[in-house]
Amino acid sequence: MFSKPRLLSTKIHLDWPLLIGIICVSLLGLIILYSAKPESDVIERQLLRLLIASALMIAIAQVPPRMFKSIAPGLYCFALILLMSVLIIGHVSKGAQRWLDLWFVRFQPAELMKIAVPMLIARYLDNSLLPPKALTLLIPLGLILLPTLLIAKQPDLGTALLILSSGLLVIFFSGVSWQFVVSLAATVGFSVPLLWFLMRDYQRQRIMILFNPESDPLGTGYHIIQSKIAIGSGGLFGKGWLNGSQSHLEFLPERTTDFIFAVFSEEFGLVGCLILLALYLCIIIRGLYISAQAQDTFSRLLAGSLIMTLFVYVFVNIGMVTGVLPVVGIPLPLVSYGGTSLVTLMASFGILMSIHTHRSLLPK
């Protein structure tokens, strides 16, 4: 083993397959972002963000996984305190309290939670017997639900959903019994009608609009109607780069952020979509492989959860833009314009790389 020449990439703890996937998707993202908003400086800004976020990814990749494990509880508590302070002194931004003004950036504590929750749950389950019993799961469930509810209250349904799923995914990867999964599903199934019963009329109406946006053509329904027209009119090969009439005639709202997939589909068609989905699939499969190769339970659970969260991102965003899932405000990873979620995403890629490149290469 020692005779094998150590490559530069090994020295700086990079994982080439993952990195190539990330670069490809990001490039596609920049191309379509240019089309979505050609006149302003969004490209420069997005590129700058990508570079800063990549630097962070490389930095995190240098950190050995046991460090993540030891800082997990501290990170969680820190994020929780920030989250509560947002609720109290948070800056009011577009009607929702999500931001905290730090010295130089506006920072979303919820983003930190996206990493802190799976880390903490992975650490907790690593210290207990696997597969876990239903009762031992009560504490991790509480640790997941607390930040989820705080964030849902902000209100940021999309991020709350992502944090909930990142935590539940860790539990799922720890190999819980089918009975547990079934009983959890049953609990959720029973509590939904109960919640519905407790809700006020206007709240129920909001939920109905979530599932049937067309009934509210002045609100979110408008987005869905326009986005479906954009996607459907793209056809098999698309209208060509910079030729999407929907997006260029400004019918499509939020076209650089949550609805950027509609611009992509309109200009590159089904073929383009298949390529994009294939690239995402490559990244996800590589991530699952990293998880399977991990040498300790903590790393395996954390890697599995992080990569599956990426999948949830992609699935919910595309599902929402194509009108099969409710509009909850989740960006398309690496493609949507915007800083904070990009940084978190790259940080989790950094963690995946760290997990894969810090394995002690013991001969079997």
**How many DSSP H helices and E strands does the chain contain?**
14, 3
- How far is it, in rounded angstroms, from Cα 350 to Cα 156? 25
Q: Does 298 bind another protein (CB under 8 A)?
A: no
Phi, psi of 256 (to 5 degrees): -90, -15
Q: Which stretch binds another protein (CB under 8 A): 72-80, 83-91, 228-236, 351-359?
A: 228-236
Sheet of 106-107: strand order equals 91-93, 96-101, 106-107
Q: Does 336 bind another protein (CB under 8 A)?
A: no
Query: In this structure, what DSSP letter does residue 37 have?
Result: S
Which of 47, 211, 253, 295 lies at the binding interface for another protein (CB under 8 A)?
Answer: 253
Q: How far is the CB of 132 from another protein (least distance, A)?
A: 17
CA distances from 28 to 35, 185, 228, 330 (A): 11, 37, 21, 19
- How far is it, in rounded angstroms, from Cα 281 to Cα 258? 20
Q: Does 171 bind another protein (CB under 8 A)?
A: no
Q: Does 281 bind another protein (CB under 8 A)?
A: yes
Q: Does 102 bind another protein (CB under 8 A)?
A: no
Q: Does 35 bind another protein (CB under 8 A)?
A: no
Which of 3, 6, 95, 135 lies at the binding interface for another protein (CB under 8 A)?
Answer: 95
Structure-derived torsion over alpha carbons of residues 211, 162, 338, 29, reported in degrees to the nearest 10? -80
Which of 274, 275, 293, 295 lies at the binding interface for another protein (CB under 8 A)?
Answer: 274
Whichever of 80 and 263 has its CB closer to another protein, that residue is 263
Which residues here bind another protein, judged by CB under 8 A? 39, 92, 94-95, 173, 202, 216-220, 222, 228-236, 245-246, 249-251, 253, 265, 269-270, 273-274, 277, 281, 284-285, 288, 304, 308, 311, 315, 318-319, 322, 324
